[in-house]
Amino acid sequence: VANERGMAMLIAIFSLMILVFIASEVSYQTQIEYISASQEVNRLKAYYAAKAGVEISLLRVLIYKKAIASFGDKLGENKSLLDPIWQTPFAWPPVIPDDLSAADKDQILKSVKESSMKSNIVSTIESEGGKIDINDLGSPAKSLAEGTRQQILKIFTNELELNEEFADQYSSENFEELVNHITDWIDEDTESRNGGDEKSYYKDELINEMIPPNRSLKTLEELHMVAGMKDAFYNLLAPRLTIYGTMGINVNYAPENVLMSLDPQITKELAGKIMARRSDKEKGGLFKDENEFIDYLGSGEINIDINNFNKDGIPLLFEEVQNFRIISTGNYASATREITAITYDMENLRERMITLLDKNDQTKGQGEEDQGSREDSGTNPNKDPNDPKTGANKDPNNKDANKDKIKIPKGRPTIVYWEEI
């Protein structure tokens, strides 16, 4: 009997141990699944917060374009007053300034507390027109293609001059060959600008009959596949390039490094002065047109040789922003999601392409034409300002021309790029 009782007790203890072990494992697995599911919910909330930021930004872009189309002509030189519609970053909950009154702070905090939006949102809108469109290397407008080529070469030249570490590693590199390879990737022919067949430079790396594809880049990341491209070169170029440009450089929104690529005379210091002038209304604010920009470059503050400025004929733009890059970040608990979207105004950019092609047809077969003295206020001596085909009506910066070009947009801005991280 004693042996039976002892055996029963051992069985009971063993069974209890098994039950405790099973309960512990079930509890552990439940906790893991709960944390995993909770994190997934948090990521979903963060994603929709980021998406909400994009939608708000798209609304701001639409409002800006409608305001420009409706009131731009009336505002004239003061059109830049509309820029804060898209330039001001959006954040939720709102960032409360230190100098805000106590009553206003309480009102904001009360609104945040009552809101059903418990996620954090930060969204910014940037101009794509201030970047270099890499696809312009293959443009049928030869002046635009050559201007783009020279800008990219200047990026490397400036980096060699300003970055000692970069110069030590890559001073022996032939960057003209690299830019030629990029152009070969984009243009329609199969003859390499470095000599021979384009495909011969890819036989050892990419066994593919479609390489190079001879078409416009679909993403900037494609540059990694170009012959001679290294990570250091890509990292240098990527922040300065876009594939959604405006067939020229918008001087009023171009960053420092892009301004420096316009002409060797524009140093880092001078680019900083140009940006300071743009952002200071008392100094003049944004430039109205190319004439005002050239006059400023020749003034005592900058004082460069304007007769030799922009020898490559890079198209300079001074109008309102057409294309935008939206970056929206959503955060909930420990989860963070980011969405990048780019809008593209195809309707209002079509006329600029027609203008550039018309200009290319006029100068075709005449060789490179000297820009001459700026005493003519930057106008082409062969262009009749009263000619609707070649004169003021074809100038993308001309106010009268823009009256017909700028149409009041309807509906959601066209999104050509969408990336979720």
Tell me the pLDDT tens digit for each residue of 7-28.
888 888 999 999 999 999 999 8
What does the radius of gyration of the chain's CA atoms come to, in whole angstroms?
29
Distance CA 84, CA 95 (A): 17
Supply the DSSP symbol for 210: T
138 in a domain, yes or no?
Answer: yes
Q: Output the domain CATH number for residue 206.
A: 1.10.40
> What pLDDT does residue 363 have?
59
> What pLDDT does residue 144 have?
86
pLDDT at 369 > cutoff 80: no
173 in a domain, yes or no?
Answer: yes
Distance CA 193, CA 384 (A): 36
Q: Give percent of the chain with pLDDT exceeding 90.
A: 56
> How many domains does the structure of the chain reveal?
1
What pLDDT, in 10s, does the model give residues 163-215? 999 999 999 999 999 999 999 999 998 899 999 888 888 876 555 677 889 99
Residue 226 DSSP SS3: coil
Range of the domain at 162: 132-238
Query: In sequence order, what are the residues at sequence separation of 6 or more whose Cβ sits closer than 8 angstroms to the Cβ of residue 173?
Result: 156
3-state secondary structure 336-381: EEEEEEEECCHHHHHHHHHHHHHHHHHHCCCCCCCCCCHHHCCCCC
162 in a domain, yes or no?
Answer: yes
380 in a domain, yes or no?
Answer: no
387 in a domain, yes or no?
Answer: no
Distance CA 326, CA 87 (A): 11
What pLDDT, in 10s, does the model give residues 26-85? 998 898 998 889 999 999 999 999 999 999 999 999 999 999 989 888 888 788 889 999
What pLDDT, in 10s, does the model give residues 305-352? 999 999 888 889 998 888 999 999 999 999 999 999 999 988 777 776
- Tell me the pLDDT of the chain averaged across its residues: 85
158 in a domain, yes or no?
Answer: yes
Confidence of residue 405 (pLDDT cuts 50, 70, 90): low
CB 137 within 8 A of CB 151: no
The backbone torsions φ and ψ at residue 341, rounded to the nearest 5 degrees and listed phi first, read -130, 145
Distance CA 154, CA 257 (A): 10
174 in a domain, yes or no?
Answer: yes
Average pLDDT over residues 362-387: 47
110 in a domain, yes or no?
Answer: no
